Structure 1
């Protein structure tokens, strides 16, 4: 697969899209239209998921895919302009301040854009009209919010206390599913859908992530599950002009304040 010439599939830049998860690292190469033109490759996320180990894993995936012009990374935490600030399901302290974009860009010699993983998944499924939300069910619960196709500032909803002292990650994440079983877990998912409807008043809600396939409950007409592959295929839209402002350098005063904060 690594030696295959992808250029015959489309004219324009090819995007190598990484999806970093608590259980697996995944990757694929996308055409300019967002179509997967390679098989999706994946490896188990290193344990412990130290930045250096994850970078090594990403490079091994890139080596299998070979030809690409730019890179998108979906990361499970707060990322701003290529720098990671939180990584709840990988190990916060190890990742805080890690310049993942610069490291991968330097290693592979290509431009890099990084967004929260739920945001990338959302870019792969939204229709671009009205208020659309995405939640991902995996190791934890990811969240992204869009208005008329424009990504809203990231809200790390997964870390917000939800019920009984548990945050959303603890309430419907992988560990909760294993502990309480599929039936009770589905009831919890239904509660979260209801809460988001009240708080966000979304026009559409998309549910992705590896555990979305386990959802077995009647969903409202404006709520649907989506393929987990969207966590990769959304990587092309990260390069749309409407996303440019997310990657521009901040004002100097803000940058200095951010350095002191973190």
Structure 2
């Protein structure tokens, strides 16, 4: 798998001396609209530690988030490289949009570079739905991932390779609502579980027409609220994939699942 253009190590970052790829431990960080999670991941994608989790400091300057991440990962132990899933559009280690964190504060922020300097390890950055998808997909055909959390994340893959990022959560879903507003967390609270599930199912149907996916994976914190019968081409995935998928940002070759 080629690393997507929006997932890049900062200039000057190098692999730790003496480490080889089979031995490298990845620190996976999942930045969400409500919480930031982190854990250490083995080269095969297995979790080496339990999650550490902290409330996301919304509305604060990005450097406060960097400080928060640094404090969060301190107890986890040794790691060789870092992957970060971020809820917005990113390119070459830089944040372009952050709809649920405060766009104006984040636009142009070199998050990968700042974290690499703080954590003294190379960092790669991608959209959080892309990272979650990398932890879930089989690597065959056209696969799609959506995440149900504060908003709706979206990622698309062809034979394991991520497509250019689309901010589908900001696209119009129904009447005046974007998909973030239609099936995000505020919609679940506003509309209740029954109506929210209808909206999620309508979204699945709309995405099937739009992208003609072979398989769709649904993850995120609100996936536990889904109560409709899943079509054969739709699978629910664990929140762990938002962390474990970070290993594949560093893999030179996509390792297909059996």
TM-score of the superposition, structure 1-length normalised? 0.87
1:248 corresponds to: none
- Rounded to whole Å, the distance in 1 between the matches of 2:53 and 2:247 is 19
- Rounded to whole Å, the distance in 2 between the matches of 1:61 and 1:68 is 14
What runs of 5+ residues in structure 1 fail to find an aligned partner? Answer: 1-9, 244-262
CA contact (8 A) 1:50 1:91 kept: no
How far off its partner does 1:85 sit? Answer: 0.6
- Rounded to whole Å, the distance in 2 between the matches of 1:78 and 1:160 is 14
1:12 corresponds to: 23
What runs of 5+ residues in structure 2 fail to find an aligned partner? Answer: 1-20
1:66 corresponds to: 77
- Rounded to whole Å, the distance in 2 between the matches of 1:202 and 1:105 is 35
2:133 corresponds to: 122
How many residues align? The count is 234
2:110 corresponds to: 99
1:77 lines up with 2:85 in the alignment:
no
How far off its partner does 1:11 sit? Answer: 5.1
Higher helix share: 1
Show CA shifts across 1:73-101 (max 9, x none): 00000000100010000000000000000
- Paired residue secondary structure (2:37): strand
- Rounded to whole Å, the distance in 1 between the matches of 2:22 and 2:241 is 22
CA contact (8 A) 1:27 1:40 kept: yes
2:201 corresponds to: 190
- Rounded to whole Å, the distance in 2 between the matches of 1:48 and 1:13 is 35
Higher relative contact order (CA 8 A, sep 6+): 2
Q: Is 62-71 or 116-125 further displaced after alignment? A: 62-71
- Paired residue secondary structure (1:241): coil
- Rounded to whole Å, the distance in 2 between the matches of 1:218 and 1:104 is 41
- Paired residue secondary structure (1:196): helix
TM-score of the superposition, structure 2-length normalised? 0.89
Q: Is 42-51 or 150-159 further displaced after alignment? A: 42-51
- Rounded to whole Å, the distance in 2 between the matches of 1:115 and 1:197 is 24
1:239 lines up with 2:250 in the alignment:
yes
2:6 corresponds to: none
CA RMSD in angstroms comes to 1.2
